[in-house]
Amino acid sequence: MRGIAFYIIESLRDKRISIFDTTLRDGEQTPGVSLTQDDKLLVAQQLDKLGVDIIEAGFPMSSEGERCSVKKITDAGLNLQICGLSRVIRSDIDSCLDCGVDMVHTFVSTSDVQRISTIKKSRDEVYKMAVDAVEYIKDHGAKCMFSAMDATRTDIDYLISIYKGVEEAHCDIINVPDTVGVSVPSATYKLISEIAANIKIPIDVHCHNDFGLAVANSLAAVEAGASQVQVTINSLGERAGNADLAGTVMGLHSLYGAKTNIKTQYIVETSHMVEKLTGVRMPPTMPIVGENAFAHESGIHTHGVLVRSDTFEPGVMTPEMVGHRRRIVLGKHAGKHAVKQSLECAGLHPTDAQLNDVLRRVKDIGDKGKRVTDADLYAIAESIIGATSKGEQAIILKEVSVMTGNIITPTATVKATVKGRELLGANTGVGPVDAALKAVTGILGDYKVKLRDFRIEAISGGSDALAEVIIGVEDEKGRVVSARSTNEDIVLASVEALVAAINQLISAQDRF
């Protein structure tokens, strides 16, 4: 028997919803974000791989660089549709058309507060501007989407009249934007239902996240009859951002049984790419794509998911569906089953008494506010069990030197003994830490690892503060290990933590 949380609205089962991504336009309006033309092309290509139906490539009239960027994307031979944004002004529309976009998204303020205070036009003037813009776009052979900006604060009768006007002008799709993010799901449902009862062309929604309701409002709009939703990767956008693609798509798939063209296995990959290019870090608790989205620490939870994953996970959505991985995290809430599994994965098999002792020490570290790394766990277990695996390290660090400055590319040299052979490696990076870590991984030969996590914390005051570095690495078989090091020198602490993590990976591999 299914609980009420797992109902599916029959009218949405297998219904196909179009995904319109505006990361390159509204997403780039995130304060502090600025993408190069090459960055934008990379994102567009990734969105094409992801299976997005339409992307809003930019606002060509806003700058020459923006126009060139949109043109570069339209010339890239992508499979998805490309849209350009314009005001209801012919020069804006021409700029989009000159870029060769498939669709022009034209907009004008319709709420009294915006209409009177910003564009200073009457309702009749705005109505005519909207209809004229749509007619002009259609006369030039492009698809047209019309947005009544600030729709959720617009008088409903006037809003429907303007949508009817653009529909008669042969607009292809209307957009209903919650421009300042003030709608709630019940109000969104009512608004879209009323519009759908009066308008026959497809309805698209654009929801902002000022109250954290953008995804919920988007899903409510689909329930009410919208057939397209606007989203961004990682919920980027003006102020608090837009509806997140991951949350919206997985909500549609897993909770409603609806369909999209999104290849969900690339969702996390896409999130990480956009995170890197924009510099906007995702909180670990970000739904679906966050580091902790499928992580468990509580003993009750970890025991449950180790027996059956859907005991403490949604079940209708697994980490594999979105390209993620389940993690068992150790800390003061850890349980015996999680510690035992982590040790067995490393080839360590404690007795029940030894396991209890390991668990007690792990909880002691957690109670002190410390994160328990894999290296901590293995060191504790090896000391209790009496294992000798830590005796001979695959990598013994001998020397680290770095050169950096305002006119010098940061360069690092590392000398180490790797399985009995003394090796010297050098590399460059965006900074001394990056260069040093690349130099270490460069001397490993065919043994490949990639950095999964990197954190620095100052644990004392002053310019000579001790720095604690925690690093997580993953090998080609998907094994992930974390380790820490503390040093006054951040570069040295980083290298020591990396070497410790790699030694743990190699040690675990050698045990089997």
Last residue of a domain, one of 385, 415, 430: 385
Same-domain status, 380 and 408: no
Q: Into how many domains does the chain fold? A: 3
Query: Has residue 173 been placed in a domain?
Result: yes
Residue 284 lies in a domain: no
Range of the domain at 319: 295-385
Confidence of residue 83 (pLDDT cuts 50, 70, 90): very high
> Which of 359, 385, 411 is a domain's end point?
385
This prediction has a pTM of 0.76
Does 48 share its domain with 171? yes
pLDDT band for position 305 (50/70/90)?
Answer: very low
For 31-35, 124-128, 134-138, 374-378, which range has the lowest pLDDT when averaged over its residues?
A: 374-378
Do 127 and 205 belong together in one domain? Answer: yes
83 and 217, same domain (yes or no): yes
Q: What percent of the chain has pLDDT over 90?
A: 61
Query: Both 238 and 332 in a single domain?
Result: no
Mean pLDDT of the chain: 87
In a shared domain, residues 112 and 255: yes
Q: What is the pLDDT of residue 298?
A: 45
For residues 378 and 426, state if they share a domain: no
- Token reading at 404: 């950096």
Check whether residue 329 and residue 447 sit in a common domain.
Answer: no
Q: Which of 368-377, 406-415, 435-444, 501-510 has the lowest mean pLDDT?
A: 368-377
Hey, which of 4-13, 41-50, 426-435 has the most confident mean pLDDT? 41-50
DSSP readout, 259-305? B-S--GGGHHHHHHHHHHHH--PPPTT-TTTSTTTTEE-SHHHHHHH
Q: Is a pLDDT exceeding 80 seen at residue 464? A: no
Q: Are residues 158 and 176 in the same domain?
A: yes
Per the domain annotation, does 481 fall within a domain?
Answer: yes
The CATH number assigned to the domain holding 85 equals 3.20.20.70
pLDDT digits (tens, 9 = 90+) for 441-453: 999 888 888 888 8
The segment with the largest mean pLDDT, out of 120-124, 432-436, 487-491, 504-508, is 120-124
**Domain assignment of residue 3, yes or no:** no
Q: Are residues 88 and 111 in the same domain?
A: yes
d(CA 25, CA 37): 12
User: Any idea which of 141-150, 344-353, 400-409, 492-501 has the lowest mean pLDDT?
Assistant: 344-353
Average pLDDT of 226-230?
98
CB count in 10 Å sphere of residue 17: 23
Among candidate residues 278, 303, 337, the one where a domain is terminated: 278
Give a yes or no: residue 290 inside a domain.
no
Q: Which of the 8 DSSP states describes residue 212? A: S
Residue 105 domain-assigned (yes or no): yes
- Per-residue HEC secondary structure of 330-385 comes to CCCCCCHHHHHHHHHHCCCCCCHHHHHHHHHHHHHHHHCCCCCCHHHHHHHHHHHH
Binned at pLDDT 50, 70 and 90, residue 301 comes out as very low
- Whether 390 is covered by a domain: the verdict is no
| 499 pLDDT higher than 60 | yes
User: Do the domain assignments include residue 265?
Assistant: yes
State the pLDDT at residue 392.
62
Q: In what order do the strands lie in the sheet with 480-487?
A: 449-458, 467-475, 480-487
Spatial distance between the Cα atoms of 261 and 17, rounded to a whole number of angstroms = 8
The 10 Å Cβ neighbour count of residue 300 is 12
CATH code of the domain containing 416: 3.30.160.270
User: Are both 119 and 235 inside the same structural domain?
Assistant: yes
Share of the chain above pLDDT 70, in %: 86
Spatial separation of the C-alpha atoms in residues 153 and 77, rounded to whole Å: 39
Does residue 228 share a domain with residue 177? yes
- What mean pLDDT comes out for the span 241-259? 96
